[in-house]
Chains A and B, each alone.
Chain A
Amino acid sequence: MSDEPISQAEKDEAAYFAERAKAQGAASPGAAPEAPAAHTLFDVQEMELNFGPQHPSTHGVLRLVLKVDGEKILEVKPDVGYLHRGTEKLFETETYPMGIPHTDRLDYIAAATNNHAFCLAVEKLLGVEIPRRAQLIRVILDELQRISSHLVWLGTSGIDLGAVTPFWYAFREREQILDFFEEYCGARLTLHCMRIGGLPFDLTPGWTDRVSEFISDLPARIDDYEQLLTDNRIWKRRTVGVGVISGEECIEWGLTGPVLRASGVEWDLRRAKPYECYEELDFVVPTRQGGDTYDRYIVRVQEMRQSARIVRQCLDRLEPGEIRGKVPRVIKPVAEEVYASIEAPKGELGFYCVSNGTNKPYRMHVRPPSFINLQALPRLAKGHLVSDLVALIGTIDIVLGEVDR
């Protein structure tokens, strides 16, 4: 269904650039030394425009310097760093367990997955085994977090494009997920819900029943959002054919997560390099072939459905047991280096950890999906309109806490 408008947009783009080249080519050879002609209304008039850092659609403090010709974007220069807090430096000053709360503040709408990636890196360095119950609960928390992150994305990027209604529904469900987190660990956003070697707490009584009920309801709720958007003509006009990128280009730019999968590359770290108990779980990695904003929307919606399936399977497998592996009181890994990564809601989130044998990491580097994905924005936005840029910032799903660290 997405074929015809994509080609239309491409045609527009090609026609526009051909026209511009012609206009410029015609102007330069006969470079008139006499008085320059007065600009008419339809001349190419380049202008620099600051977009952000306080613009609501930049989802934080992203500044873009645009070079525009009327509504057409000629060049985008992202300017990041407004939220830089030196997290990697802070990791070096504190012991391993003290680093976990800092990870909450990276991608602050998906704290559980950040905690998880950090813990995985240190666990890989220590070589500890995680008890099965802890693995299952970690996966449940991860997938709930993925659903909530995608819901935030769905609501806010919908609002950016003028679809205000889905926001209220998406945040209704997200609220429930945050309540589950609150019940589990006491926090709603900055969770600090994992520890090196396992989990801080066991589940509270009745938690699994409530999550189970929510998960049963979720597919019907997702149907509701889809009813509002999937076949909505305005939504499709704003998203189909906007920011098309091929699979090979995605890999070249290092794009991961739903962006990559919407371009036809079936690659998900949960499947490619399974961690915890993902290899025994039955789920589909949703992919689409179009590589445009609409396909990225479809992929994320499908991922929520798959996450619900994963949570259901984990809940069925839960059995009483230990929630923490055998980890020494003072964590002093061997002087080595590891890289561990997980499939975060936004893509590959990795931690590169260098130890020098003391109780503090010598170097802890974050490989943030948002930062790397944002890099491709100029490529995606080229030749589109300024209003499409809003759709594109939404579609790569950045969180500035993670971009700037």
Chain B
Amino acid sequence: MAEEEQTPGAEKPREAARPVKREAADASGHPWVRSIRAAMPDAVVSAKEFAGEVTVVVAREAIARVARHLKDAEDFKYCVDVTAVDWKTREPRFELVYHLYSFSKNDRIRVKCGAADGEEVPSIAGVYLAANWCERETYDMFGIRFSGHPDLRRILTWDGFNGYPLRKDFPLEGIDTGAAIYPEEWPEGGGPPKNDPNRRFVP
């Protein structure tokens, strides 16, 4: 093993380099955005481009129609991913994020829409089969309900789990699930003690 020679080189302090400050550009003139706007004049809220990725923010009610339009008219046949972001203090609180890919264009588009706590989002599982489990996961982790989803159940946690783990107000230690193995340390019904100094939340 020649780690001795290697490690000092890797740990040598380098001059501090700042990454180039880059900013998102407006992309409302992008052909895909114009295409959505032409089909659904009220759907597009904003559009931007950053690091070669086009992001379109659309109205929540229109998301399934936008997905259908992108799939049929713009050839975005492959739904890469569906997820959400909890912005905690922003209004609306959640942001749904959809990544779609087109084989003919060899490019991705990111479609986003906002949703307040408790608001239902139209499901795109009818447009893309692949979105089925992604939406279930988003529901499981954030508690966002999708209207028209064929089988909206929890997927990674179990049915009856109390809470939505990826919300920012879900404590990092977890919560009492009623399945305590050591009741003397984790009193039943109490979960991790509320006055536990180590109890923390994600920033």
Residues of A in contact with B (beta carbons under 8 Å apart)? 80-81, 84, 86, 88-89, 92-93, 124-128, 183, 186, 200-202, 204-205, 251-254, 265, 267, 272-273, 323-324, 326-329, 333-334, 336-339, 341, 348, 350, 352, 354, 358, 360, 362-363, 365, 367, 371-372, 375, 404-405
Contact = CB atoms under 8 A, between A and B. Distances in A.
A375 B137 CA distance: 12
Give the contact-size bracket for chain B: 35 or more
Interface of B: 1-3, 5-7, 9-10, 14-24, 50-51, 53, 55, 77-81, 83, 85-86, 97, 99, 103, 106, 108, 110, 128-130, 132-134, 137, 141, 154-158, 165-166, 170, 172, 200, 202-203
Question: Do most interface residues of chain B lie in helix, strand or loop, or is the interface mixed?
Answer: loop
A204 B172 contact: no
A129 to B, nearest CB: 10
Contacts of B134: 372
Given A254-B80, A272-B106, A350-B99, 4 more contacts: A202-B10, A251-B103, A252-B77, A354-B85
A183 B1 CA distance: 7
A333 B78 contact: no
B138 to A, nearest CB: 10
Contacts of B24: 336
Given A127-B19, A363-B85, A338 B202 contact: no
A404 B203 contact: no
Contacts of A252: 77, 128-130
A253 B125 CA distance: 10
Contact of A375 (B10, B108, B130): B130
Given A204-B3, A372-B133, A326 B21 contact: no
B120 to A, nearest CB: 21
A352 B200 CA distance: 24
Contact of B51 (A89, A327, A336): A336
B130 A372 contact: yes
Nearest to B17: A326
A93 B202 contact: yes
A240 B19 CA distance: 52
B19 A205 contact: no
Given A127-B51, A404-B156, A348 B80 contact: yes
Contacts, number: 132
A18 B28 CA distance: 54
Contact of A324 (B3, B14, B110, B157): B14
Contact of B19 (A93, A251, A253, A328): A328
A58 to B, nearest CB: 17
A242 to B, nearest CB: 21
Contact of A337 (B5, B21, B50): B50
A336 to B, nearest CB: 5
Contact of A81 (B3, B14, B85, B155): B155
B19 A339 contact: no
Contacts of B203: 92, 358, 360
Given A93-B202, A272-B106, A323 B132 contact: no
Which 4 A-B residue pairs are closest in the complex by CB-CB distance? A254-B130, A326-B17, A81-B156, A367-B81
Nearest to B79: A254
Given A127-B22, A365-B83, A205 B14 contact: no
Contact of A254 (B9, B53, B129): B129
B87 to A, nearest CB: 9
Nearest to A126: B19
B30 to A, nearest CB: 17
Nearest to A125: B51
11 contacts: A125-B51, A127-B22, A205-B5, A252-B130, A336-B50, A336-B51, A350-B81, A367-B80, A367-B81, A367-B99, A375-B133
A197 B37 CA distance: 39
Given A93-B172, A254-B80, A326-B14, A362 B51 contact: no
A128 B14 CA distance: 15
B157 A81 contact: yes
Residue of B51, B165, B170 with most partner-chain A CB within 10 A:
B51
A395 to B, nearest CB: 18
Residue of B50, B85, B110, B133 with most partner-chain A CB within 10 A:
B133
A354 B97 CA distance: 11
A251 B78 contact: yes
B26 to A, nearest CB: 14
